[in-house]
Amino acid sequence: MILKSIKLSNIRSYASQEITFPLGSTLLAGDIGAGKSSILLGIEFALFGLKKGEISSDSLLRHGAKEGSVELNFEISGKDVRVRRSLKRGKDDIKQEEGYIIVNGMKKQASADELKSGILELLGYPAEFLKKKDLIYRYTVYTPQEEMKKIIYEDSSVRLDTIRKVFNIDKYRRIVDNVRILNSALREKKKKLEGFAQDIERKKSDAREKANEIMELEKKILLIAPQLDEIKSRLSSKKESISKYEERINELNALKRDFHALESKLSALMHQKNGIKERMRLLDSQTDALKKELESAEFDESADFTGKILGKEKEIGIFEKEYRDSLRTLHSFKAKKDSINEAMEKILKLDSCSMCEQKVTTEHKHAIQIREGEKLRAVEKEIAECSSKENMLQEKLSKFRQEADLLRKEESKLNVIRLKKKNLEDKIAERHRLEAEQKESEEQIEKTNSGKNEIYSKIEKMQLIEEMYKAARQELDAISKEERKIEIEKTGLERDRNSVQKLILMLEGEIKEKENALKEIQNIAELENWIDNFFVKLMSTIEKHTMHRLHSQFNDLFKQWLGTILEDESISAGLDDSFSPVIEQNGYETTVDNLSGGEKTSVALAYRLALNKVINDIVSEIKTKDLIILDEPTDGFSSEQLDKIREVLDELDMKQVIIVSHESKIESYVNNIIRIGKNEHISMVI
């Protein structure tokens, strides 16, 4: 893993800053409180998110800022990775928002846990660290300054437990615990199996009894089989005999059907004959009545009433037109008379002319009255003449209409007589047709009656067959009942046999299951023995050997690094069984607390570097072996000890080393320097 760059936005004392990390050794230089460690916390937050008790949202988000973010770019196993996490201040708290991860240009939005899971997979860290503290990262890549000495001051049991977790050695203990749980489950299963299999002998005895029962049933079935065969033979012979009878019976039934059909036909023909006879009687009565009516009626067959009626209607039309014209003329004269009278009344009442406004004299009124009176008398004469003509025309119209009505009545009488004559002819024709139908009906009745008598004679001859058929059917029913009785008996025996066979199969299945249970009990006993006497001891031996190899390698590296950093012949060190540092000074054993500040830091740094080396060598899957971050590793070092850091960097032989320190002397032997300063409470690269 190689870090490339980090972007900090409103993180701790940073407002907005991008920092690029080169290869080789790099010093993050600056005064205490400038913001160097904030960069390292930003890197850890980008990788693993918030961690309870270590990296909180309150400590990361800049005071007063509503939101902040970290974007880290790094390379791992040839992949370019960019991961971004963000924080947002809410009403009551600060929450981590959804972020994203980009691997070789492929972007994926993800929640905080999903990002951590993806990073653990990229780094090669075990998946169980998703919900745990990232011990491997803290002991191989970056350990905060305040935690550098923590592991050597912790209680030995806590330190040993931490070492076991880092190297995943406690998996052997978990295996043993799980095996004990398995053993308990096996014992419980074994107990259940023993209870299940305890009645196996009784089941075998039941199976033998049922087998004997089947043998007895088979014997009975064999004895009844010949009886059934004999009865079936008799039944078949009787069915064949009945089949022949049935052919004759079918013939008889066909004759009976024909007989009944002829009876029905004969009845219908007799009904038809009676109907024809009644119809002829009725026709004779109606014909006689019509003949009498026609004989008493006088009529001229050649009379043309229609032409006369049309001529009369034409004359009526002419007079009706003349009458309407006369009425119009009369109405016109009457209107003219009313107009003259109205004009005379107006003039007599008039005092002055409406046009010239001159006074109208009595003489003038009288003259007008004389003139209009002459007009009025002439009009009244015309009215009298028109009224006289109207009366004359009305009388003629009435006379012509009466004459037309008389002609229509005569025509109607003639039409009725013609209709009766036609009706008489139709009835005579129908009488002739009915006579022919009656003759044909009598012939069919005679023929049908003859056929009926012939069929009845045949039926009489075949009556004996019905009695013989009934007797044969009774014998067949008796044999069938006997057959059903024997078959029921046989079916009952076979059903009992099948039931017993099912019971035997069920018992055999149970016996097989119980035998398998006995085998499984034996296998469980062997497995319990193997677990108790071999596997648990093997896990304990592997754990001891692993711890011994780890302790030996760790102890050698610790001595080597401490010798490199300290170079004080009066002081030597090693590790006891709990991986606690054991210090000897001038031949006397002493504790770490009795060492000077620089010596304590040396012991802690040597322990830290030895732990880093052992983890990288043993935990082969992790991909952070090219990077180490040292946070204030020289606290309390003398000038001579600071010079030893150059040797430490050379011996580390890593592609990327990042050192956080305010010691200026370190600047002389690192490849790169990134200076951090603070202005008005804002950290920045200077």
| Between residues 377 and 99, the one the model is more confident about | 99
Residue 130 scores a pLDDT above 60: no
| HSE-up (13 A, CA, CB side) for residue 229 | 6
> Tell me, what's the pLDDT at 127?
66
pLDDT, mean of residues 630-657: 85
User: Tokens at residue 630, please?
Assistant: 């040292």
The dihedrals phi and psi of 455, each to the nearest 5 degrees, come to -65, -40
- Tell me the pLDDT tens digit for each residue of 379-391: 888 888 888 888 8
What's the N-to-C CA distance of the chain in angstroms? Answer: 26
Q: Which residues contact 550 (CB under 8 A, 6 or more apart)?
A: 163, 167, 169, 614, 618
In this structure, is residue 596 part of a structural domain?
no
Dmax (CA) of the chain: 185
User: Tokens at residue 135, please?
Assistant: 């011990």
Residue 216 scores a pLDDT above 60: yes
> Tell me, what's the pLDDT at 131?
61
pLDDT, mean of residues 67-77: 96
Position 118, amino acid: G
| Between residues 160 and 583, the one the model is more confident about | 583
- Tell me the pLDDT tens digit for each residue of 357-366: 667 677 777 7
136 burial via Cβ count (<10 Å: 0-12, 13-18, 19+): buried
Q: pLDDT tier at 298 (50, 70, 90 boundaries)?
A: low
Measure Cα distances from 139 to 270, 412, 627 in Å.
Answer: 128, 139, 12
| Between residues 371 and 214, the one the model is more confident about | 214
pLDDT, mean of residues 521-533: 89
Q: Which residues contact 226 (CB under 8 A, 6 or more apart)?
A: none
**Spatial contact of 590 and 599, defined as CB atoms under 8 Å apart:** no
Question: What CATH number is given to the structural domain containing 364?
Answer: 1.10.287.510
> Tell me, what's the pLDDT at 355?
62
Q: Which residues contact 609 (CB under 8 A, 6 or more apart)?
A: 557, 561, 648, 652
Position 427, amino acid: K
Residue 8 scores a pLDDT above 90: yes
Structural domain containing residue 326: 297-461
| Between residues 537 and 368, the one the model is more confident about | 537
For the chain, the helix, strand and coil percentages under 3-state DSSP, each to the nearest 5: 70, 15, 15
Residue 683 scores a pLDDT above 90: yes
**Spatial contact of 198 and 512, defined as CB atoms under 8 Å apart:** no
Query: How far is Cα 255 from Cα 546, in angstroms, rounded to an integer?
Result: 113
In this structure, is residue 479 part of a structural domain?
no
Position 645, amino acid: I
> Tell me, what's the pLDDT at 132?
60
List beta partners, residue 11.
14, 61
Residue 569 scores a pLDDT above 60: yes
410 burial via Cβ count (<10 Å: 0-12, 13-18, 19+): middle
Residue 72 scores a pLDDT above 90: yes
> Tell me, what's the pLDDT at 111?
94
In this structure, is residue 640 part of a structural domain?
yes
Of 415, 431, 461, the position where a domain reaches its end is 461
| Between residues 102 and 297, the one the model is more confident about | 102
pLDDT, mean of residues 263-279: 88
Question: What are the strands of the beta sheet with 588-590, ordered from one edge?
Answer: 571-575, 581-585, 588-590
Sign, CA torsion 103/107/112/114: negative
| Verdict on whether the full-model pTM lies above 0.75 | no
pLDDT, mean of residues 602-628: 86
User: Tokens at residue 654, please?
Assistant: 């890593």
In this structure, is residue 324 part of a structural domain?
yes
Q: In 3D, which of 13, 77, 19 has the Cα closest to residue 43? A: 19
H helix intervals, 98-149: 112-123, 135-140
What value does the mean pLDDT of the chain take? 85
601 burial via Cβ count (<10 Å: 0-12, 13-18, 19+): buried
- Tell me the pLDDT tens digit for each residue of 618-628: 877 889 989 99
Residue 408 scores a pLDDT above 70: yes
Question: What CATH number is given to the structural domain containing 666?
Answer: 3.40.50.300
Of 461, 481, 512, the position where a domain reaches its end is 461
Q: What is the CA radius of gyration of the chain?
A: 69
**Spatial contact of 575 and 581, defined as CB atoms under 8 Å apart:** yes
Query: How far is Cα 70 from Cα 10, in angstroms, rounded to an integer?
Result: 9
pLDDT, mean of residues 420-425: 83
> Tell me, what's the pLDDT at 301?
60
**What is the share, in percent, of the chain residues with pLDDT greater than 90?**
23
Domains held by the chain: number: 2
> Tell me, what's the pLDDT at 617?
81
Of 437, 461, 485, the position where a domain reaches its end is 461
> Tell me, what's the pLDDT at 302?
63
In this structure, is residue 435 part of a structural domain?
yes
In this structure, is residue 537 part of a structural domain?
no
**Spatial contact of 497 and 218, defined as CB atoms under 8 Å apart:** yes
> Tell me, what's the pLDDT at 82?
97
Residue 115 scores a pLDDT above 70: yes
Task: Write the DSSP string, 135-178.
Answer: HHHHHHTEE-GGGTTHHHHS-HHHHHHHHHHHTTTHHHHHHHHH
In this structure, is residue 557 part of a structural domain?
no
User: Which residue, chain included where needed, has tokens 């000890």?
Assistant: 641
- Tell me the pLDDT tens digit for each residue of 304-332: 677 777 877 888 788 788 878 888 888 88
Residue 4 scores a pLDDT above 90: yes
| Between residues 355 and 651, the one the model is more confident about | 651
In this structure, is residue 580 part of a structural domain?
no
- Tell me the pLDDT tens digit for each residue of 131-180: 666 567 887 898 877 777 777 777 878 778 777 777 778 788 888 888 88
